[in-house]
Structure formats: C-alpha cells, structure tokens
Amino acid sequence: MSSIKMFEKPLGMRDKFPQIYEKVEAVRHTGRNFLRSRGYEFIKTPTVEYFDTVGKASAISDAHLFKLVDSQGNTLVLRPDMTTPIARVATSKLLKEMIPLRLAYFASVFRAQETEGGRPAEFEQMGIELIGDHSVFADAEVIVTAMELLKQFGLENFKVTIGHAGVLNCILQDYTESIEQEDVLRTLLVQRNYVGFEEAVASFDLPKTKSDALLQFIEEAMTLKEIRDIEKYVRKNDALEYMQQLAKLLEVADLAQYVAFDFTLSSHMSYYTGMLFEVFASGSGFPLGNGGRYDGLLEVFGSKVGATGFSIRVDRLLETITAQASDKEEAIVVLFEEENFEEALEKIEALRAAGKQATLQLRSSLVDEAAFLTHFTKVVVVGQEEIRGE
C-alpha cells in the first residue's frame, strides 16, 4: 500500500471549485422548477444503503460498489444509482398513498473505479421516475420530459436514441443457438464493440442464414428510417407493436425530429426490460443520460407495477451548455481603508439591498491587488470616488 500524498484525493473523486459549483446550482434550480411544473415531486434518499437491499438490487456490478461496514457488522453501500433506492421507497410506502407516482431527484451517486482513467467516482444525476403505469403513454411522457428538459437548458442540437430490450432479445434468441452466445453478443453491444460482434458471430459457426442475418442486422439496425424496417429480422410481437405506438406518440408531440431508433441499443443497467433510450448532444462525447422501462425492479421489492424513468449526468450536461454560461455574472468589490469602514459599510449595504453581488474587502490586506481584482466586473474604492469596470 503506497503512502497517501498531502493533496491526493481518493480514486475518481473530484473537487468542485466555485465556478463549477455555481453552474451546478443553476442547473439544479432550472431543473427543479421545470420538473415540478410537470407534476414531479422531489425526493431525497440516504447516501448510504444496505448492500442486501439496494446493493444487490442495483444493476451496478459488485466491483463498482463502495462498501462499508456499520457497527453492527452489516454491509452498507454508497448509493450507486437513484432508481433502485427510489424503487425501495416507493414500494415500502409511497405506492400505498398514490398510484401512479411521479418522483424527481437531484443527487450524487457513487461508483468505485479500479484505475484512474478520468472517470469520476462521484457524480450528480438529475432525473425522474414514473411508477405505477404500464402504458406506452408513460414511456412517451418520460421521453418528452427528457427532451423538453434539455430545451430548458437551451439545447437544440440533441438526439434521443431509442431501442427495446424485448426486440433485441427476440433477435438474439432467433439467430443464435445458445444462451451463452446471446450473452456474449449482448455484452458486446453494451460496449458498442461492433467489430467484436462480427468476430463473435463468425466464431460461433452458425448456419449461414443466421450469421448473415445477424451481420446485416448490425449494419442496418442503427440507421433505421422507420420502425417497420426492423420487421424482417423479428417475428411480430408485442414489443414491436409497442414501439410503433411510441413512435406515433412522439410524432403527435412534434418531437420526432429529435428521435432515432436503434435496436442494437443495450444497457449495462440490466433492470431495463422494455423500451430504453440514450440522450446525446453536441459538446459531449458521451451520452448525457439514459432511461427506460424497468418493471422487473419493483418486483424485487415485492410490488408488481410498471415503472419508467430517466437520468441526466449533470457533469456531461455542463459540457454542452458552457457557451450559455460564458458571460461573467456581475460581481462588485468595494475596497476600503480602515478609516473608511463606516462609509464602506453603507455603500455595500446599498448595493446588496439593490440585489447586487458585492464583496467588502480591506485594501491593505491584499497581497496582490491586481490579481484579486481580475475576479470582479466592477471595483469601487471608498474614499477616492473611484469606480472601475463600468
């Protein structure tokens, strides 16, 4: 075990400096107002949960869980996602009071990193859960809410890619010859390793009709113009009809231009059993968020109700909206000498009463005045009637 250096942080942990902190708070404020206006009530769950409940039910792998032990010897985890704790709360209490439930959150989640690769071990998520509704209209509401939330942040250049676990499972079952082969191909799709997918299909020594169908499916399924183009690969089933209904609802909502269908879409979040989607936007090389239907997760906690939702990674969202926040907020500093303190106090109180962001600073305490003043848009020097930055 190597010694810990004075300023070293745990693997994957990040400091949040004032400028970023304020941007996150602005995102929280905008998101909260918007989601509450859509009928979603905010909820907060504990940072620490029992491993035997939330830890085991979560789709996050055991290797990526932060584990602790309490004084009674129980294994705990830092919450690895928000959907699982909310499912626990909903089934234990809230579903007895109201169905469907519309819940929202803004919270940190924790996922342990094995090596330093630039990935955070703690990050904020903002999202919603719609619990107690099996209908396609609930899925449409969740997707529309995600799109309109992005628009609240001024984003227009984004895309929502939608797939369905049931359709993909049907294709993999029909064109492979074992559960092991299905699992290999599904894992490669989660990793978006399409070259590996093709190599795996070749290694399976499948009948030519099956291998050809799988390879053609991979080539075409990511760029479908219409859902009916997938019908040649899959026998008619409820999942396909469900997706056709969903596509029509998104057209009615006049949001079809933001939608792409990709039936190769799969997720490491194994509790997604139906429709699932990812959100992409220019400015970030990774998905901003994801969501989908996870009816089976509620059954783990003893409740057979439908559930769907989405989450947005706040750090990735910030990457896409930095241009909006480029204008520096007005910040005033009032400099004074000791003999001018009373006058300075009157001036700062007047500025703050007018709603200004104002800092009061004894001038003789500054080590590097020029460097200090670069952080302000306006400087007022008491006693000299000097104002800079106007």
Residue 130 and residue 252: Cα distance in Å, rounded? 21
pLDDT classification of 114: cutoffs 50, 70, 90 = low
Query: Do the annotations mark residue 13 as ligand-binding?
Result: no
Enter the tokens of residue 147.
């799109």
Q: Are strands 158-164 and 259-261 parallel, antiparallel or unpaired?
A: parallel
pTM of the entire predicted model: 0.81
Query: Which sign, positive or negative, has the C-alpha torsion 368, 369, 373, 374?
Result: negative
Query: Do the annotations mark residue 52 as ligand-binding?
Result: no
pLDDT classification of 104: cutoffs 50, 70, 90 = very high
Query: Do the annotations mark residue 241 as ligand-binding?
Result: no
pLDDT digits (tens, 9 = 90+) for 157-211: 899 999 888 888 888 888 888 888 888 888 888 878 888 888 888 888 888 888 8
Return the percentage of the chain with pLDDT > 70, whole number.
Answer: 92
Identify the structural domains of the chain with CATH numbers, from first to last: 16-166+254-318 (3.30.930.10), 330-379 (3.40.50.12590)
Residue 257 and residue 277: Cα distance in Å, rounded? 15
Query: Do the annotations mark residue 316 as ligand-binding?
Result: no
Distances in whole angstroms, Cα of residue 324 to Cα of each of 20, 35, 152, 319: 13, 21, 12, 11
Query: Do the annotations mark residue 125 as ligand-binding?
Result: yes
Instruction: Give the residue among 363, 375, 355 at the shortest CA–CA distance from 334.
Output: 363
Query: Do the annotations mark residue 271 as ligand-binding?
Result: yes
Enter the tokens of residue 19.
């400028």
Query: Do the annotations mark residue 139 as ligand-binding?
Result: no
| Mean pLDDT along residues 17-21 | 85
pLDDT digits (tens, 9 = 90+) for 138-150: 999 999 999 999 9
pLDDT at 285: 79
Enter the tokens of residue 5.
């250096």
Return the percentage of the chain with pLDDT > 90, whole number.
Answer: 37
Query: Do the annotations mark residue 83 as ligand-binding?
Result: yes
pLDDT digits (tens, 9 = 90+) for 34-79: 999 999 999 999 998 888 888 888 878 788 888 889 899 999 989 9
Before 100, cis peptide (omega within 30)? Answer: yes
pLDDT at 144: 94
List CB contacts of 233: < 8 A, sequence separation 6 or more: 171, 213, 216, 217, 221
pLDDT at 190: 80
pLDDT classification of 385: cutoffs 50, 70, 90 = low
pLDDT at 95: 83
User: 324 pLDDT exceeds 70?
Assistant: no
Average pLDDT, the chain: 85
Distance of CA 72 to the CA centre of its chain: 34
